[in-house]
Structure 1
Amino acid sequence: MADVARAAGVSSQTVSRVSNGDSAVIEATRRRVLDAMKELGYRPNSAARALKRGDFRTLGVITTSLSSTGNVRTLEAIATNASRAGYAVTLIPLDAPTRDSVTGAFTRLDELAVDAVVLIMEVHLLDTGSLILPPHVKVVVVDSDASDRFPVVDTDQHEGARAAVRHLLDLEHHAVWHLAGPEESFAATRRADAWEAALREEGIEPPPLLRGDWSPESGYEAGLRLAREPECTAVFVANDQMALGVLRAMHDSGKRVPEDVSVVGFDDIPEAASFIPPLTTVHQDFAKVGELCVDVALRELRGENVADGTRLVPTRLVVRDSTAAYQPSPRRA
């Protein structure tokens, strides 16, 4: 810095101001300093400045999986919005959702010097007991049951699932079957609870619940079982990838969609409109989830009073060709 100051004919303090983007430096002086930096090959040490300020311009993200559509798209949205705000993202995926693994991830992020942490905790902990997070860390939780202990951002899973079931009931189907996600998933639990509640509101006894693992393969296996149920005319599937498997199983079993069986998914992945037939599904706004996560984290860092509790991002039903009004068929009769 002293070498740059001598070459530019200014003080070291002026070089520091230029390095930090201080607008008080007049343009001619700023240009002279920048030219001297370039000539001498000087680069400000951002790590040293960060240590001095205690501001690292980095958000940490801990996630339990990089295989699910929701996690990947939420992570992408967080990274995009963080970058727009001038922040980098440090990612730590967990091998298993345990208290020790989450605690270890927080320790690593503390060592790597991040300003705040986004915890994408889509599943229950494998070990018993509640998760205790470091009290000095600014935390935003995604897709989890953190009650009122932390700021939480989530899609309105309940309303989205309810809209899917209501759509099928409005098409005069007598009942709606459900292929749920894994039992340990918070999202799967919320969607299954909403499915059951919507049926009981209409005085309909819910059919037996089926479960998959979010994959098309598990959807195919469940779809073969559903195709053998003569009373099954409508299926709400907990995600689009399992719904793809259900569509194939219905085709292989000689069932027509939507003439014999209507199918609704959840997520609205980009490929959903290209399924055969195009899939009716519940749209999740992952971009908004990521935007809210970053917004809440940065507000916490600015010292604003951020209330704990859940912020819900609305869903919307996207109606395509995989659903139709109930039609009694001679085969079913």
Structure 2
Amino acid sequence: MSGAARQSVSSALPRSVDVAKVAGVSQKTVSRVLNDEPYVSDEVRRRVLEAAEQLGYRLNSAARALASGRTRSIGVVTLGTALFGPASLLMGVERAVRDTGYALRVVNTMEGDTAGIAGAVESLLEQGVDGIVISEPIDEGEVPVRVDVPVLVIGAPAPFAAPHVVTAGVGAGVLASAATDHLLDLGHHTVHHLAGPQRWYAARDRLAGWRTALAARGRPQPPVVEGDWSAASGYSAGRDLAANPALTAVFAANDDMAIGLIRALTEAGRRVPDEVSVVGFDDVPVAAYITPPLTTVRQPFDAVAREGLEMLVHAIEHPLAQPSPAIDPPVELIVRASTSPPPGKPREPSGSTTSYQA
């Protein structure tokens, strides 16, 4: 999996001395205005505030804390959703933050609200956090916000510039390739893909991993069917896929869609796995208890969160040092009874866990 850390340095952010120069006042006067102290005329106050706004200068509790030390708090911006992946990653981040000795502040956002992401970041900066974790799985474009603390971005490109940006990923592409390879190794000529919504970075990565695995073996790439992560969308896609007599294997981008897919295939008289094998993604708790138990890949949420937080804390406490090299966690393929060789080939025992080192 990728997992490697990358660090970048942005141009210098405006300081109070810059505000003083633009406003034509002393730095002490700027401090008085921005701290709402008395003995400053209305005209001077107006000039200072206009200069601060023009330069994008922010006085927040983080700046005030510089005199006495850090606030030892980390903020998290995350999509407000009950979906297994984002929710599990947030839980992993919460556990990892506790281990670092920092306090955690979480702000949830809504899908499709770019301004909400910017507002969430601004809110955390005003609270004086020492670093920010961005766990936004959807491509909302560039976020117009200035950030002056280290940032950890998980599973996606950084949506804005910051003094230090550290990235970590769950390796969805490698996991998807492992799932596809498992089906090809069983003897299936090709594998169909039930993809997630393509605004999600994870869905794009899983689609890319599926394509990579097929291309590496010179296998045809069937048309992609796109769902919305729900079991209902998997069921709808399954009704269409079931009508294809050449279908013998499907890799679904998450377990919920795989479960809906299996239901549709079964209703259409296509037996799983005797006629069609299905692999999911995530290893949700119910995956082991459906009929048949679902073969899937398990995401290393805790390992990624722990490694990412270690890199972020290192950037906070050692701003001039280079980040430590990332350690790729193993890829776990959980083999259960929903996969087997295609019709006409002998079936191997199921119920095992296979680890691949990316």
TM-score, normalized by length of structure 2? Answer: 0.72
CA offsets, 1:288-324, max 9 Å, x none? 1221222112111111524499875442211111100
Unaligned runs of 5+ in 2: 1-61, 346-358
Tell me if the contact between 1:79 and 1:88 (Cα under 8 Å) persists in the aligned partners. no
User: What is the rounded CA distance, in whole Å, between the counterparts of 2:197 and 2:329 in structure 1?
Assistant: 22
Question: Given the alignment of the two structures, is residue 140 of structure 1 paired with residue 152 of structure 2, yes or no?
Answer: yes
Q: 1:100: how far off?
A: 2.8
CA offsets, 1:175-234, max 9 Å, x none? 100000001011111111121222122222211100111111111111111111111110
User: What is the rounded CA distance, in whole Å, between the counterparts of 1:147 and 1:316 in structure 2?
Assistant: 30
Match of 2:288 among 273, 294, 298: 273
Partner secondary structure for residue 193 of structure 1: helix
CA offsets, 1:97-135, max 9 Å, x none? 45432222111101122111100121111xx5x345534
Q: Which shifted more, 145-154 or 183-192?
A: 145-154
RMSD in angstroms over aligned alpha carbons? Answer: 2.6
| Cα distance change of structure 1 residues 68 and 309 upon mapping to structure 2, 3 Å threshold | farther
Residue of structure 2 in register with 1:251 after alignment: 266
Question: Given the alignment of the two structures, is residue 321 of structure 1 paired with residue 333 of structure 2, yes or no?
Answer: no
Percent sequence identity over matched residues?
A: 37
| Cα distance change of structure 1 residues 313 and 132 upon mapping to structure 2, 3 Å threshold | farther
Question: Given the alignment of the two structures, is residue 156 of structure 1 paired with residue 171 of structure 2, yes or no?
Answer: yes
Structure with bigger gyration radius: 1
User: What is the rounded CA distance, in whole Å, between the counterparts of 2:314 and 2:83 in structure 1?
Assistant: 28
User: What is the rounded CA distance, in whole Å, between the counterparts of 2:210 and 2:111 in structure 1?
Assistant: 29
Structure 2: which amino acid aligns with 1:61?
V
CA offsets, 1:220-258, max 9 Å, x none? 111111111111110000011111111111122122111
User: What is the rounded CA distance, in whole Å, between the counterparts of 1:157 and 1:164 in structure 2?
Assistant: 11
User: What is the rounded CA distance, in whole Å, between the counterparts of 2:107 and 2:326 in structure 1?
Assistant: 23
TM-score, normalized by length of structure 1? Answer: 0.77
| Cα distance change of structure 1 residues 298 and 97 upon mapping to structure 2, 3 Å threshold | farther
Structure 2: which amino acid aligns with 1:298?
V
User: What is the rounded CA distance, in whole Å, between the counterparts of 2:117 and 2:327 in structure 1?
Assistant: 23
Tell me if the contact between 2:307 and 2:326 (Cα under 8 Å) persists in the aligned partners. no
User: What is the rounded CA distance, in whole Å, between the counterparts of 1:97 and 1:292 in structure 2?
Assistant: 29
Alignment of 1:207-226 (within 5 A): 207-226=222-241
Residue of structure 1 in register with 2:99 after alignment: 84
Residue of structure 2 in register with 1:25 after alignment: none
Tell me if the contact between 1:148 and 1:308 (Cα under 8 Å) persists in the aligned partners. no
Tell me if the contact between 1:143 and 1:153 (Cα under 8 Å) persists in the aligned partners. yes
User: What is the rounded CA distance, in whole Å, between the counterparts of 1:224 and 1:306 in structure 2?
Assistant: 52
Tell me if the contact between 1:219 and 1:243 (Cα under 8 Å) persists in the aligned partners. yes
User: What is the rounded CA distance, in whole Å, between the counterparts of 2:115 and 2:326 in structure 1?
Assistant: 25
| Cα distance change of structure 1 residues 181 and 62 upon mapping to structure 2, 3 Å threshold | same
Partner secondary structure for residue 217 of structure 1: helix
User: What is the rounded CA distance, in whole Å, between the counterparts of 2:218 and 2:287 in structure 1?
Assistant: 32
Partner secondary structure for residue 53 of structure 1: coil
Tell me if the contact between 2:76 and 2:107 (Cα under 8 Å) persists in the aligned partners. yes
Q: 1:269: how far off?
A: 1.6
| Cα distance change of structure 1 residues 131 and 310 upon mapping to structure 2, 3 Å threshold | farther
